[in-house]
Amino acid sequence: MQEPTFLILTALAAGAQHGYGIMTDVTRISDGRVRLRAGTLYAALDRLKADGLVTGDREEVVDGRLRRYYRITDAGTAELAAEVRRLRANAAAAASRLGLAGGPA
Amino acid sequence: MSGPRPERRRSRMERRYRRLLALYPKDHRREHAEEMVGVLLAADGDAPVRAPNPAAWARRLGQHTADSADLIGGALRIRGRVVLDRIRRTRWLSWTVRDRRWSDALAVVSVIAPLLLLVAALTEFRIPQAVANSITGHPHWGVSATLGLADLPMAAGAPGVALLVFLGLRRLAGLGALATAIGQIAAGAVPAFAGYADPAVAFTVLLSCTAAVALLFSPGPDRGLALLTRGGTALVGAGALILGGFSVGGDVWFGPMDDRAPRFDDFGGKVAGLPADLLIAAVLITAAAACLRAPVSRRVLALLAIPVIPYAFLWQEKLAVDLFVQPGGGTAVIPSSIPMLYLPPLLLASLILTGTWLGRRRAGERDRQVGSATSGPRSAMSA
C-alpha cells in the first residue's frame, strides 16, 4: 500500500471527512511530512472507490461550494488493519535487529 | 479597496483550475469538478491574500505550479486507469467458431495438437536424454546431436505451449503455438538452416498452426477433455506416454546388442523406417476419434489430417526408393518441395473453411425460409 493511500484511509478511519478535511488531516497525521494535493487526493479516492475501500457518505453546500464526504468501508478497514499489522511486524523486526528499545515484547 | 482584489484573484484561480480540470475524463469531471475546485480554492485560501515579500511570492508561485502539475498528474493517472480497466474488461481474442460440431472438434484438437507437439519436440530433440545425460553423465544417455539456432522455436515453443495449456492459459498457449509456427518458418527460411522442405518440419509447422487455431478459436482444452471423457483422455495420454517413451528411448531398451554403447541418434525417432511422430500422431488421432461421436470425430480427423499430409510425401519417397531405385542412389518420383509439402494441407484447410462457410449459408437460408413461412400468415392477418 502506498503511503498516500495509507494516510487517506487512516484519516477516514476516525470518521467521514470531505476532500479538504482529508488533506489537512493527512498533513496532521504525517506531522507535516506529507502534503496531499487535490490531483493526488482525487486520483487516490477514485481508485479507492473503485476498489470498494472508500465510499461517498453525504454532500453539503458551504459558501456556495459543494462538499462531498467520504467514509471508509468495512473492506477498507480490513485492508488498513492488515497493513498496520504488516508495518508493525516489519518495524518490530527492524527494531529488534537494531537492538532498539520497543522491539518485540 | 482590498475587497474586490481577493475576489478577482479567486475567480482567476478558479478559471485556471477549471481549465486544468478539463483534462480529466468527462464522468470524473461531472462527479468531482465542483468539489475539486472547492478544495483547491480552500487550500489556496489558507495563503495570505498578498504576498508580503518576493520570497513569499515565489513560494506561492511554486505552490500554484505544483498544484497545476499535480492536477495534470492526477488526470493522467485516472485516464490511465480508465484505459487499463477497459483493456481488462475486453475479452481479448474471444472469437470462437459458431458451429457447435466444429467448435467441439477444435476443442478436442486443442488437447491433441499441443500433446503431439510436445511429444514431437521431445523425440526430435531428444530432450529427455539430454536432461538425463546432464544429470547422470552416464554414457547410456549420450546425445551427439546438439541443438542449433533453427531448432530453438520448436525446442522451446512446444514445451512452452504444453505448459500454458496445462496452466489453463488457452489464449496465451494459442499465441505461443502461433509464435512457434512463425519461428520455425523464419528459421527454415534462412538458407543456412537448410530450409523447411522437409516433411518432419512441415509436420511440426502445420501442427503448430493447427494447435494455434484450435486454442484461439475453440472453447479450449477443458471442453476437449470433457468430450474425450475420462476413458478417452486416459487412452490418448497412455498412447502418448508409451509411444513417446518408445520413440525417445527405444534404441536403449530394445536397441542393438552389440559391443558399442547404443546412442539415441542411431534410432533417430523412427519406427519401421518412418518418423515416430507419424506413428504417434496416427495412434493418438485414432484413439481420440474412436472416443467421440461421429460428427465430431470426422471433423477431428479432418483437422488433424492437415499436419499429417506432408508425411504422405515421405512415404511415397520411401516407396519409390524401395520399388524403383537401385541400391545406392536415386530420387523419389515426386521429390519433397515446399509447394508439394505445404499446398495440399492448405488446400484441405481451405476446403474445411469453404465447407463450413457454405454450411452456415445454407443453414441461414433455411432459417430465413422457415421464418418467412411462419411470419407470412401472421402479417397477412395483421394486414
* pLDDT tens-digit readout, B299-351: 888 888 888 888 777 666 666 666 665 555 555 455 566 777 788 888 888 88
pLDDT at B14: 84
Q: What is the dihedral of CA B335, B341, B345, B350, to 10 degrees?
A: -100
Q: Taking 70 as the threshold, does the pLDDT of residue A42 lie above it?
A: yes
Label residue B155 by pLDDT band (50, 70, 90).
confident
Chain B: closest CA distance from residue A102 (Å): 38
Least Cα distance to B201 among B338, B57, B85 occurs for B338
Q: Enter the ipTM.
A: 0.81
The CA-CA-CA angle for residues A21, A25, A29, to 5°, reads 170
Q: For residues B275 and B272, what is the distance between their CA atoms, to the nearest angstrom?
A: 8
Q: Taking 60 as the threshold, does the pLDDT of residue B55 lie above it?
A: yes
Q: Taking 50 as the threshold, does the pLDDT of residue B268 lie above it?
A: no
More confident residue, B370 or B101: B101
Mean residue pLDDT of chain B comes to: 74
A42: closest chain B residue by CA = B74
B85: closest chain A residue by CA = A50
CB nearest to B70's CB, from A18, A19, A37 = A37
Q: Taking 80 as the threshold, does the pLDDT of residue A28 lie above it?
A: yes
Q: Which three cell numbers stand for residue B313?
A: 510425401
Select from B14, B21, B35 the residue whose CB has the most chain A CBs within 10 Å, as the one to mutate to test that interface: B35
* Type of residue at B103: S
Label residue B5 by pLDDT band (50, 70, 90).
low
Lowest-confidence pick of B113-122, B257-266, B306-315: B257-266
State residue A62 phi and psi, 5-degree precision. Answer: -125, 125
Q: For residues B382 and B373, what is the distance between their CA atoms, to the nearest angstrom?
A: 15
pLDDT at B66: 86
Chain A residues whose beta carbon lies within 8 Å of the beta carbon of residue B34: 65-66
Contact B73 A43 (CB under 8 A): yes
CB nearest to A40's CB, from B35, B42, B74 = B74
Label residue A69 by pLDDT band (50, 70, 90).
very high
Q: Taking 70 as the threshold, does the pLDDT of residue B79 lie above it?
A: yes
Average pLDDT over residues B351-357: 84
Q: For residues B98 and B49, what is the distance between their CA atoms, to the nearest angstrom?
A: 69
The CA-CA-CA angle for residues B31, B37, B41, to 5°, reads 155
Label residue A54 by pLDDT band (50, 70, 90).
very high
The b-or-e profile of B253-282 (16+ CB within 10 A means b, else e) is eeeeeeeeebbbeebebbbeeebbbbbbbb
Contact B36 A42 (CB under 8 A): yes
Label residue A6 by pLDDT band (50, 70, 90).
very high
More confident residue, B64 or B147: B64
Q: Taking 80 as the threshold, does the pLDDT of residue B70 lie above it?
A: yes
pLDDT at B160: 92
Where are the domains positioned within chain B?
A: 9-89, 100-363
Per the listing, cell 504422405 goes with B312
Q: Taking 80 as the threshold, does the pLDDT of residue B51 lie above it?
A: no
Displacement of CA B90 from its chain's centroid (Å): 17
Which class does domain A3-91 fall in? Answer: mainly alpha
CB nearest to B43's CB, from A20, A65, A68 = A20
- For residues B316 and B333, the answer to whether their CB atoms sit within 8 Å is yes
- Which DSSP string corresponds to B179-235? HHHHHHHHHHHSGGGT-S-SHHHHHHHHHHHHHHHHHHHSS-HHHHHHHHHHHHHHH
The b-or-e profile of A16-42 (16+ CB within 10 A means b, else e) is bbbbbbbbbbbbebbeeeeebbbbbbb
